[in-house]
Structure 1
């Protein structure tokens, strides 16, 4: 049985490694063609729908986790960019990673990836402007940091793409291994009947529970993909899986610590409630769809 677990681990880890390297390298290679300065200019304009759409585009093309998004957020705020637009980017960036969404399409199916992208995009926009509407802009502290976007290449650069891919792989690879290990153990040792009995079916309470469990954890989407694949194959409902995936990617204790340095407590609390709401609503929507 343990030999089967090991074989499963090698297969899952190998598949994720090859896919992640290939997709990450391609994305980093194409960074030169992304007009970041123009994106920021239009995001600061008065055309709200356009600014929101560009915030989503920027969130999609910047492969940052929840923690590494913070310097970009601070840079946006220091440039007096509209608060609601900044919040849209804050919620969308860690959950709309192009590499992970591609992995999701390959492993969980194109339909799941498309629905996930649409739901997280719409909810990010709604939550971002809702926080602005309720006046949370006044809860931002005056902090200035250097933006990671300032380090993007200005010309076609194979060396940069290779360097960034290796750096990203170094930071993500441990989480890929963890995800592959947990997924292989679940696949080989956890009975299918246990998963279907306790985590399957249409038990609505599983969605908010999964959302709550995911928030304090620092689990990257790259870790959750192989775990989700096995859990779904074992009979776990898609709703709780997605709620756990979104809440763990959207918030974490390290990120909350960083946010506490730039936001007042009431905005940090509002952020946690928003991530919980986003992941819970997403989970229920996956049930319906």
Structure 2
């Protein structure tokens, strides 16, 4: 007979899990509850704004969810293994392209990076994938189009690939000079499940609906992505409503507006600590651009925050040696600034 008695630690673990799962919704409710106390009218306005924005982006949300679930159900993410074979120039190019199309966030890509480096894949190709992957993927493209427009989504895709190529070739040239050997910290393993995608890539089943197990994967992933996007976008839209209500447009324009270098540099630096996640950041940047933030600063904010968000930076610090970590930060921030500057110049043409 199985003993179903809970150990003393079990309830605490359950409560921690529930807190992690629901803290975003609790934050939304806390904000609205506080508004009801101090400004009931704004509480209703914020709720209406968030619901309206969710309805407006619903078609893009559905497409984003479908793309993410399809990638998992078919096993399309196994295709990334093909990016890490061949000559260095080919590997860097394919890794940057794979990074711009793969469904990995800045933290989710870390186990795969550990596996690639532990298996001896050149750091140049790994860095190309590493920098490009958190910035864009098919579902992010659909949602970016819905929130910020097709031009912004296309430019962000090119930014992801360009940043990957820039980082990959920079590391390749430094490596030829004898630097950056043995990038992993001592004791780092092979990346667990992330490494299996590269060590033993499975065939892709494009017609996943013909396999019962893959249909279950599709439904499970679709539900997971729906809940994930719903909570983060709800929080982002509520925060956006407060920015529009309480932050004077002239303040945003003064700090982040205009065509100079300072707004882009500030957007790059602020993007690291202020970034929530790639999906939640979109409405916030949309709201700031609506108040006068320059498009270049918005692009720099999204790129810098996507690659070097604080949770991701902490994970990277634990993974690689300090010189590689500093290079990762330098490539991320300089690349984000350059991307923002180029996008700003493009909007002025």
When normalised by structure 1's length, the TM-score is: 0.88
Matches within 5 A, 1:51-62: 51-62=91-102
Please identify, of 211-220 and 261-270, the stretch whose mean Cα deviation from structure 2 is larger: 211-220
Please identify, of 49-58 and 155-164, the stretch whose mean Cα deviation from structure 2 is larger: 49-58
Q: Which residue of 1 aligns with 2:122?
A: 82
Deviations 1:9-44 (A, max 9, x none): 21123444663343222332244263726x424522
Deviations 1:234-267 (A, max 9, x none): 2211111111111111112222222122211121
Mapped to 1, the partners of 2:52 and 2:195 lie a distance apart of 35
Mapped to 2, the partners of 1:181 and 1:153 lie a distance apart of 42
Q: Which residue of 1 aligns with 2:86?
A: 45
Q: Which residue of 2 aligns with 1:6?
A: 47
Residues 16/64 of structure 1: CA separation in 2 closer, same or farther (3 Å cut): farther
- The answer to whether 1:69 aligns with 2:109 is yes
Mapped to 1, the partners of 2:58 and 2:109 lie a distance apart of 23
3-state SS of paired residue (2:158)? helix
- Specify every segment of 5 or more residues in structure 2 that has no aligned partner in the other structure, as ranges: 1-40, 209-213
- The answer to whether 1:265 aligns with 2:322 is yes
Q: Which residue of 1 aligns with 2:215?
A: 158
- The answer to whether 1:114 aligns with 2:171 is no
Residues 267/49 of structure 1: CA separation in 2 closer, same or farther (3 Å cut): closer
Q: Which residue of 2 aligns with 1:36?
A: 78
Residues 176/214 of structure 1: CA separation in 2 closer, same or farther (3 Å cut): same
Mapped to 2, the partners of 1:186 and 1:284 lie a distance apart of 25
Q: Which residue of 2 aligns with 1:206?
A: 263
Q: CA deviation at 1:218?
A: 4.5
RMSD: 2.5
Q: Which has the higher contact order (CA 8 A, sep 6+)?
A: 1
- The answer to whether 1:249 aligns with 2:291 is no
Please identify, of 145-154 and 201-210, the stretch whose mean Cα deviation from structure 2 is larger: 145-154
Q: CA deviation at 1:171?
A: 4.2
Mapped to 1, the partners of 2:61 and 2:240 lie a distance apart of 17
Mapped to 2, the partners of 1:257 and 1:95 lie a distance apart of 18
Q: Which residue of 2 aligns with 1:24?
A: 65
- Specify every segment of 5 or more residues in structure 1 that has no aligned partner in the other structure, as ranges: none
Q: CA deviation at 1:280?
A: 0.9
Please identify, of 74-83 and 130-139, the stretch whose mean Cα deviation from structure 2 is larger: 130-139
Contact 1:21 1:165 in 2 (8 A): no
When normalised by structure 2's length, the TM-score is: 0.74
- The answer to whether 1:231 aligns with 2:288 is yes
Which structure has the larger Rg over C-alpha atoms? 2
Q: Which residue of 2 aligns with 1:187?
A: 244
- The answer to whether 1:147 aligns with 2:189 is no
Contact 1:239 1:286 in 2 (8 A): yes
How many residues are paired up? 287
